[in-house]
């Protein structure tokens, strides 16, 4: 019986780890930007939510 579980090169594993770390960094940056934007738009959140609901209702009623 052939066992091929250990056939992954070290360089390949390092590339996978580096890719995951890059993805984590991008997610952290996006979270920071979105959090800052939500802090600025904090008082307007109910208005934005109401506008989104109105747009969805108009879309469903084919009025948009």
Predicted local confidence at residue 25, as pLDDT: 94
Q: How confident is the model at residue 55 (pLDDT cuts 50, 70, 90)?
A: very high
Which residues touch 41 (CB under 8 Å, ≥6 apart)? 48
Higher pLDDT residue, 1 or 25?
25
Does residue 40 lie in a domain region?
yes
Encoded tokens for 61: 């009623």
Q: How many angstroms separate the Cα of 49 from the Cα of each of 14, 26, 37, 53, 64? A: 44, 27, 15, 6, 17
Any idea what DSSP says for residue 1? -
Predicted local confidence at residue 1, as pLDDT: 55
Does residue 4 lie in a domain region?
no
Q: What is the pLDDT of residues 14-53, one digit of tens each?
A: 899 999 999 999 999 998 988 888 788 788 888 888 898 9
Domain count, the chain: 1
Rounded distance, CA 5 to CA 15, Å?
18
Does residue 47 lie in a domain region?
yes
Rounded distance, CA 37 to CA 31, Å?
10
Q: How confident is the model at residue 11 (pLDDT cuts 50, 70, 90)?
A: confident
Does residue 3 lie in a domain region?
no
Does residue 5 lie in a domain region?
no
Q: What is the domain extent for residue 27?
A: 10-60
């Amino acid at each position: 019986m052939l066992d091929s579980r250990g056939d992954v090169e070290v360089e390949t594993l390092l590339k996978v780890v580096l890719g995951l770390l890059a993805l984590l960094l991008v997610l952290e940056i996006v979270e920071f930007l979105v959090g800052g934007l939500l802090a600025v738009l904090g008082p307007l959140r109910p208005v934005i939510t109401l506008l989104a609901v109105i747009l969805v209702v108009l879309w469903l009623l084919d009025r948009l």
